[in-house]
Amino acid sequence: MPSDKIRKKISEETMAILAPSLLSPLFVVLLASTNCRGFEIKEATVDGIQQAFKEGSLTSRRLVEYYLDQIQTLNPLLHAVIEVNPDAVPQADRADEERLSGRHPGGGLHGIPILLKDNIATRDQLNTTAGSLALLGSVVPRDAGVVRRLRQAGAVILGKASLGEWGNFRSHRIPSGWSARGGQGRNPYALSKYPCGSSTGSAIAVAANMVAVTLGTETDGSIICAAAHDSVVGIKPTMGLTSRAGVIPISPTMDTIGPLCRTVSDGVHVLEAIVGYDSRDADATLAASSYIPQGGYRQFLRLEGLKGKRLGILRKGFFEFPKGSIYQEVFEEHFNAMRKAGAILIDNLEINNASIIRDAKKSGEKAVMLAEFKLYLNVYLSELSNSPVRSLADVIAFNNEHSAEERIADFGQSILLEAQNTNGIGPVERNAIAKMTRLSLEGLERLMMEKQLDAIVTPGASASSVLAIGGYPGISVPAGYGTNGVPFGICFGGLKGSEPKLIEIAYAFEQATTVRKPPSFKPGTSAFQPLKEW
Ligand SMILES: *[C@@H]1O[C@H](CO)[C@@H](O)[C@H](O)[C@H]1NC(C)=O
Ligand SMILES: *[C@@H]1O[C@H](CO)[C@@H](O)[C@H](O)[C@H]1NC(C)=O
């Protein structure tokens, strides 16, 4: 339904309810009792939480206890969280003490609970396993680079979020959102539908108010698709803007770490805390550090952020919906909203070689992923302080030995086996990397330059490979809800380092359309049904 109409309807209804009661004593009583209950944590934003900390109507401890309670209640249904941190309450107490004593000014992520996708290493009581039983009990040598920054910012590590096991890189037959340790993650908006991923647990948990903010990772689509299908905001940063050190890899050519949050502003708070140079991911983070704007990213949360922006709509192969479908209707409405907000839409654009780019075999992406996965997973495993497995070969053997728990008969491990057959970066892989670079230069870069675009606009995760093979950033914002109840998103993508522009566009779009609503857990059938790809 067009969002303007929804908003109008809601405000009319609200007025109808409020108008008579404005003068009545009942209204005053209701208002007073709302104040007594204090701060409403459900759907709270980072800014709202910080304000409540400041006013003394909320503590980090109360926030952590609320979320732990939510996890206990909802996780048996949603399977979003693998582990909660036994240190979360003490960390919250420390943050409260620092703020109240004046030793820390507060603000940013200080005292804010965050869930980390289970492929992001923490050197604490939490395990880091990519959802696999093979890594249970492994001990990491140190926190991941992004975790070190989160702790410096004073964030509370609430626990580990589930994911598609091994970041969806074990087998094509593994259902989206399944891991041996986490079970089957469910879409909180339509329980019989998949959450899309692989950053599924992060998206589900933050959508269902089981945490304030989360981190996910993306190689090709894992943040953008999870954000779109679970009605949250996902920021996939430029490759190298955020350190990959201490994150279980797939492909360092493409891997990136980024937030999944309920609002663009929350995502920007998280992004700002985790970007920057890391000597353990030196080349990529040094190259990308020149993109970090002086004064950080929050200055780009501008209501008029769409004004004058040139947005390229990729229709062919991307915005292709049956005529009269809800998707077509809603996106046309959004395009109008963007025009009204001052954006210049350049329609019906095509990207050179789009069909090659979107076919991982033809673009070279698959060859690069397979070879890099083996190479860099083996490095990750060899650096662990302690581990039951030390190589990809060990992981494959573990899965065969624990085939019942890892459901090898049902799902297999074909991608792991394919990766094991590779032999480092040889001529084939070098050619593949060169091809990806050429496709990006002749594709997105040329289009952006020729049409002088600030961003491209695509539905769902349909542009994920365009963004993946060039290391480009993208932001997914909730765009609507299908007739089947499954949310869908709109993705703004751009050239390397264009986060400031993308944030302006995404924030202004979000504020103009206000699509996101929290899920309400209507029971669905238990059989899972496949999702549309985009
Ligand atoms: C980590 O895994 C071990 C099993 O190896 C388990 O005993 C422990 O409880 C796990 N940690 C958390 C925080 O769940
Ligand atoms: C991509 O498209 C351009 C222009 O259409 C063409 O010249 C080029 O050969 C194509 N590149 C690849 C790798 O196929």
Ordered per-residue pLDDT tens for the chain, 534 residues = 334 433 333 333 333 333 333 333 333 333 333 333 579 999 999 999 999 999 999 999 999 999 999 999 999 999 999 999 999 999 999 999 999 999 999 999 999 999 999 999 999 999 999 999 999 999 999 999 999 999 999 999 999 999 999 999 999 999 999 999 999 999 999 998 899 989 999 999 999 999 999 999 999 999 999 999 999 999 999 999 999 999 999 999 999 999 999 999 999 999 999 999 999 999 999 999 999 999 999 999 999 999 999 999 999 999 988 888 999 999 999 999 999 999 999 999 999 999 999 999 999 999 999 999 999 999 999 999 999 999 999 999 999 999 999 999 999 999 999 999 999 999 999 999 999 999 999 999 999 999 999 999 999 999 999 999 999 999 999 999 998 899 999 999 999 999 999 999 999 999 999 999 999 976 555 666 666 544
Contact, 95 vs 151, CB < 8 A? no
Phi, psi of 342 (to 5 degrees): 100, 5
Q: State in Å: Cα 498 to ligand 2 middle.
A: 25
- Residue 126 to residue 158: CA distance in whole angstroms: 10
* Catalytic site positions: 117, 198, 222
pLDDT for the residue numbered 2: 38
**DSSP assignment of 448-478:** HHHTT-SEEEEETTTTHHHHHHHT--EEEEE
Q: Look at ligand 1, atom 13, and give the residue with the nearest C-alpha.
A: 126
Instruction: Describe the chain by its helix, strand, coil percentages, rounded to 5.
Output: 45, 15, 40
From atom 7 of ligand 2, which residue's Cα is the shortest distance away?
442
**Protein residue closest via CA to atom 5 of ligand 2:** 352
Rg for the chain, CA atoms, rounded: 23
Ligand 1 centroid to residue 134 C-alpha, Å: 13
Q: Which residue has the tokens 């953008």?
A: 224
Query: In 3-state terms, what secondary structure has residue 223?
Result: helix
Tokens coding 471: 């290391």
According to DSSP, residue 238 is labeled: P
Q: What is the per-residue pLDDT for 484?
A: 87
| Mutation test residue for ligand 1: of 83, 118, 122, the one with most atoms within 8 Å of CB | 83
For helices 499-513 and 264-274, give the axis angle rounded to 10 degrees. 160
**Of ligand 2's atoms, which has the minimum distance to the CA of residue 356?**
14
Q: Distance (Å, rounded) from C-alpha 241 to C-alpha 285?
A: 6
Chain-centroid distance, C-alpha 354? 24
Residues 100 and 249: their CA atoms lie apart, in Å, by: 40
Residue 32's identity, in one-letter code, is A
The residue whose CA has the least distance to atom 7 of ligand 1 is 137
CA nearest ligand 2 atom 10, residue: 353
Helix (H, G, I), strand (E, B) or coil at 117: strand
User: Which of 357, 440, 442 should be mutated for ligand 2, with most atoms under 8 A from CB?
Assistant: 442
Q: Please tell me the distance between residue 404's alpha carbon and the centre of ligand 2 in angstroms.
A: 47
**Cα 178–Cα 182–Cα 185 angle in degrees, nearest 5:** 50
- Distance between CA 166 and CA 119 in Å, rounded? 8
CA-136 nearest atom, ligand 1: 5
Pick the atom of ligand 2 nearest to 435's CA. Answer: 13
Quick check: CB of 127 below 6 Å from ligand 1? Answer: yes
pLDDT given for residue 533 in this prediction: 47
* 471, 238 contact by CB (below 8 A): yes
Q: Cα dist. 22→18, 32, 344, 351, 413 in Å?
A: 6, 13, 43, 56, 63
Nearest in space to 268 (alpha carbons), one of 46, 514, 490: 46
Please tell me the distance from the alpha carbon of residue 177 to that of residue 80, in angstroms, as a whole number: 9
Instruction: Supply the DSSP string of 280-335, one letter for each residue.
Output: GGHHHHHHHHTTSPTT-SGGG--TTTTTT-EEEEETTTTS---TT-HHHHHHHHHH
Q: What string of DSSP letters covers 340-398?
A: HTT-EEEEEE--TTHHHHT-HHHHSHHHHHHHHHHHHHHHHHHT-SB-S--SHHHHHHH
442 Cα–ligand 2 center, Å? 7
Q: Which two tokens stand for residue 321?
A: 């919906």
Residue 274: both structure tokens together: 């985790």
Left if phi > 0, otherwise alpha if psi is -120 to 50, otherwise beta: which for 111? left
DSSP state of 133: G
Q: Is the CB of 442 under 6 A from ligand 2?
A: yes
